[in-house]
A and B are shown apart, each in its own frame.
Chain A
């Protein structure tokens, strides 16, 4: 079998090297497709809203991520340099979570009101959620962290949420290091995961999700005290309304990865569904105290917060809607 096998091997390995190296070389040296005509297109209800969004190109996902600003119904490219997986902006400070220059790691860029990069923060996982407090003091970033798959499951994920001081780019801590209480007693478990921070008007206060053992708790946090308190179950990716009286969130359907959008009253913790009937995996943005905006990873929609009406298309080919507040513009 020796000489016949040897010939087969020479042929096979030769073909593999030529094909593999050739494919990678063409991929590496081929024309760099950085230009795209993909831009978000306005839906019917756009005119009254000022937004920042992340563009997606349905034909070529490699061109996703350009940041656009929607001003008086006109859609304009916000920045030539920023391409983000997640973007948020408030109080003159923005977070852009994106693939780093090495092509294999992620980083967050903190940018100012003219889209100039101020700080660069290395991320230890895949971008999931980004939020900035209304006054631009704090930012919060959630990433997915996977263990190396050595003898563990490659698909076992946890999340990690970091609070940042936007002006300095300093990382103030991870929610995993904060003390948690439930019903007044200390609460801890091996599988604690935190995600989806939303800041209150007082930026030291925030809400987030704590996932543990199949439960998804709404927690209220305090940045300087580094503490968290469990409020209720069944709330993921909370988003506080501008007047701080309501929280929009994802309510999980059964055990699967499917959600309905709900809104709860902060005072009573009672909730109701909104009129969107699709499963949505996004942290909702409030356009005003009565209206939600969110994306299905393709388009941005809007729906009334009180459960009435119906979901309407706001922007095509866009995700990560961010309401631009009047005082911080221009």
Chain B
């Protein structure tokens, strides 16, 4: 069921893109999308089979990785800011991103060579996380620097859509290999390594490291300039708005758990919730970006967050049919499509060229800290008051956050930086 649904969905955005003559994004953005697509195939292949591999070959409980993961996600936040700033400072976005992609590729090779001890696999998972932390900010800066300012949201939409295609293909390829060659996890790791190497090759061979908006002269930015972004007249309001909105947004993982409690559906359907949301995200990422470039990023951002009210409303209902469940998941996918990429595009539009990666690194870190806080708060409220009360409080908080964020975002958008 999972496979069929997903493969149908994969065709959708591609056909759509072909049919639209007006979708013109820079070649560099498509190439970076290709890098992410291939890398995501590689990492999702491993992520899909790793738990099975752990139990099957090592008899280990997958819970051993819970702690490792928490630790390294914290480390990744710090790494993001550092790698963002370093790539601005050295003007080597492509090389720093390449280091991140390279680390993940090395991790896959190591899995083939030495993935038969718990400690070894733990170290490989950690290296993969750090690689992801390193590459995100410089990669997003490259996307931004490759695009004209009035096409930024479309560019990020195209990249995010390609990225999620990879995330869908990875599990399918892994399952296909295990279906053909049962229990041959080594074959999955080998093919995953190949995709990682191909992704790195596209980056090295086909991605332009100095795209058209990239700074070529002037003094390299200092740490003080990057820190100055925190109190900058237009970037600081953007950060504040992003922080507020992310704190008031319930994470999708908790939404799925909430839906499971609200609706008494078969546990086998649970993975389909993710698939439905991913399909919706994939299909809507490009249109949302185009809309943001046409009517403005701020209205699309706000409309995206407003979609969360539909999700919250469904969580408040006591009986939900499958139709309403699908509407809820489409809304959730639309929320993702209209927010993360568009927010990064907005940052790309107002940040000075020489501080693109630093600013985006800071933004990603602020948003992920906001999400962490949101999850802790939502879990706490659920425990203390109950699910419905927690959802009501978050709906109220989201409304307040949107009211406060609107003038902040408009101010950010109005005054581009000249740093």
With beta carbons under 8 angstroms apart, the residue of B125, B187, B253, B271 that contacts A155 is B125
Q: Are A102 and B191 also in contact (CB < 8 A) when A61-B57, A127-B55 are?
A: no
Contact at A62–B183, with CB atoms within 8 Å?
A: yes
A146–B51 CB distance below 8 A = yes
A104 touches B184 (CB 8 A): no
Asked if A126 and B55 make an inter-chain contact with CB atoms under 8 angstroms apart, the answer reads yes
Partner of B62, one of A104, A155, A213: A155
Q: In the assembly, what is the distance between CA of A47 and CA of B68, in Å?
A: 43
B82 within 8 A of A: no
A68 to chain B, nearest CB (A): 17
Main SS at interface, chain B: helix
CB distance from A180 to the nearest CB of B (A): 12
Q: Which residues B262-300 have CB closer than 8 A to chain A?
A: 264, 267-268, 270-271, 274-275, 277-278
B194 near A19: Cβ-Cβ < 8 Å: yes
Residues of B within 8 A of A147 (CB): 253, 256, 270-271, 274
Q: Given the known A-B contacts A102-B179, A190-B382, are A16 and B274 also in contact in the complex, defined by CB atoms under 8 Å?
A: no
- CA of A23 to CA of B278 in the docked complex: distance in angstroms? 31
Set of chain A residues within 8 Å of B52, measured between Cβ atoms: 99, 126
A35 at the interface (CB under 8 A from B): no
Does A146 lie within 8 Å of B62, measured CB to CB? yes
Given the known inter-chain contacts A147-B253, A151-B252, A190-B254, please indicate yes or no for A255 contacting B382, CB distance below 8 A. Answer: no
| Closest B residue to A154 using CB positions | B47
Contact size class for B? Answer: 35 or more
A160–B271 alpha-carbon span in the complex (Å): 14
Q: Does A113 count as interface, using CB distance less than 8 angstroms?
A: no
Which residue of chain A has its CB nearest to the CB of B191? Answer: A20
Which of B171, B258, B267, B387 lies in contact with A124, CB distance below 8 A? B267
Interface string of A105-149 (1 = CB under 8 A from B): 000000000000000001010111000000000000000111111
Q: How far is the CB of B63 from chain A (nearest CB, A)?
A: 6
In the complex, what distance in Å separates the CA atom of A151 from the CA atom of B281?
Answer: 11
Cα(A124)–Cα(B50), bound, Å: 16
Known: A5-B206, A157-B66, A297-B59. A189 touches B383 (CB 8 A): yes
In the complex, are the beta carbons of A12 and B277 less than 8 A apart?
no
B61: A residues at CB distance < 8 A:
128, 144, 257, 281
CB–CB A5/B205 < 8 A:
yes
- How far does the Cβ of B11 sit from chain A's closest Cβ, in whole Å? 19
CA distance in complex: A153, B179 (Å): 25
Residues of B within 8 A of A122 (CB): 268
Give A291-329 as 1s and 0s: 1 = Cβ < 8 Å from B's Cβ atoms.
000000100000000000000000000010000000000
Cβ-based interface call for B197 (8 A): yes
Asked if A44 CB lies within 8 Å of chain B CBs, one says no
Say yes or no: is A76 at the interface (Cβ < 8 Å to chain B): no
Q: Mark A19-53, 1 if CB is under 8 A from B, else 0.
A: 11001100110000000000000000000000000
A52 to B191, CA, bound (A): 39
Q: List CB contacts (< 8 Å) of B92-144 with chain A.
A: 125
Which residue of A20, A126, A160 is within 8 Å of B194 (Cβ)?
Answer: A20
Contact A24 B180 (CB under 8 A): yes
Which residues from 49 to 97 on chain B have a C-beta closer than 8 Å to any C-beta of chain A? 50-52, 55-69, 73
Interface membership of chain A positions 258-278, coded 1 if the CB is closer than 8 angstroms to chain B and 0 otherwise: 000000000000000000000
With A23-B190, A127-B55, A190-B379 in contact, is A28–B65 under 8 Å at CB? no
Known A156-B253, A188-B386, A190-B387; further 20 A-B contacts with Cβ < 8 A: A5-B205, A5-B206, A20-B194, A24-B191, A27-B184, A61-B57, A99-B182, A104-B178, A124-B267, A144-B63, A149-B44, A150-B167, A152-B251, A152-B252, A152-B274, A154-B47, A156-B69, A257-B61, A257-B64, A297-B58
Q: Using CB atoms and an 8 Å cutoff, list the residues of chain B in contact with chain A.
A: 44, 47-48, 50-52, 55-69, 73, 125, 164, 167, 171, 175, 177-184, 186-187, 190-191, 194, 197-198, 201, 205-206, 251-254, 256-258, 264, 267-268, 270-271, 274-275, 277-278, 336, 378-379, 382-383, 386-387
A-B contact pairs, 25 of them (CB 8 A): A5-B205, A5-B206, A8-B205, A16-B198, A23-B187, A27-B187, A28-B184, A61-B56, A122-B268, A124-B267, A144-B63, A146-B62, A150-B277, A153-B253, A154-B48, A155-B65, A155-B68, A155-B125, A160-B267, A177-B264, A190-B382, A255-B67, A256-B67, A257-B67, A297-B60
